[in-house]
Amino acid sequence: MKKSEIKTLVSSAIEPKNLCRVFFKYDVNYRYYFPLITSDKLFLGANEDDFILDGFSIRRFRDVKKAEIKNDKCLEIIKAEGILDKMQTPQIDITDWYSVFLSLSNVDFNIIVERESLVDDECEFAIGKIEKVLKSKVIFKHFDADGIWQDECYEIPFSQITSVTFASRYVDVFSKYV
């Protein structure tokens, strides 16, 4: 699909609250989102997984290779369960990564920042909090898989970020125990 077709499809899914199946260049699997906000470069969606909304992700349009509306029994169940009635759009400026991190730095919760790739050695995953937002990178305080805060912060260039996730079950539950 062309980038313009992807943007149009994702944007058109916002108002009717359509579920989108999104395929990424760096993933062999697809993911489901209810798109909530789009900009020229990014989109913010509510993550859908097995009839639950599991936080929000911000992703780059340039990483999407295909998107489609998923209008089937799954969406019918989600609507019947009232899941969409509970969905609220977070107030995040998604113009670019700089504005995303400035918006997220105003709230006090942990997030996930990822660099995804089909090559395992190129993948990066960091969970923690924003320390400082600079023009082309974010300074990020993170904790490890044992829930131990690390002394040194990551400097993550915006150019390497493929996604930011927040308010997910994983982030929220893990954060309670660090």
Sketch out the chain's domains with CATH numbers: 3-86 (2.30.30.100), 97-176 (2.30.30.100)
Please report the pLDDT score of residue 152 as a whole number. 96
Please report the pLDDT score of residue 86 as a whole number. 85
Please report the pLDDT score of residue 150 as a whole number. 96
CA distances, 172 to each of 127, 142, 149 (Å): 11, 14, 16
Please report the pLDDT score of residue 108 as a whole number. 82
Please report the pLDDT score of residue 120 as a whole number. 84
Confidence bin at 144 (pLDDT 50/70/90): very high
Residue among 158, 63, 61, 173 at smallest CA distance from 127 = 173
Strands (DSSP E) along the chain, which ranges? Answer: 20-24, 30-38, 42-49, 52-60, 64-69, 111-115, 124-133, 137-142, 154-157, 163-166
pTM over 0.85: yes
Tell me what percent of the residues of the chain surpass a pLDDT of 70: 100
Question: Could you tell me which residue, 112 or 119, shows the higher pLDDT?
Answer: 112
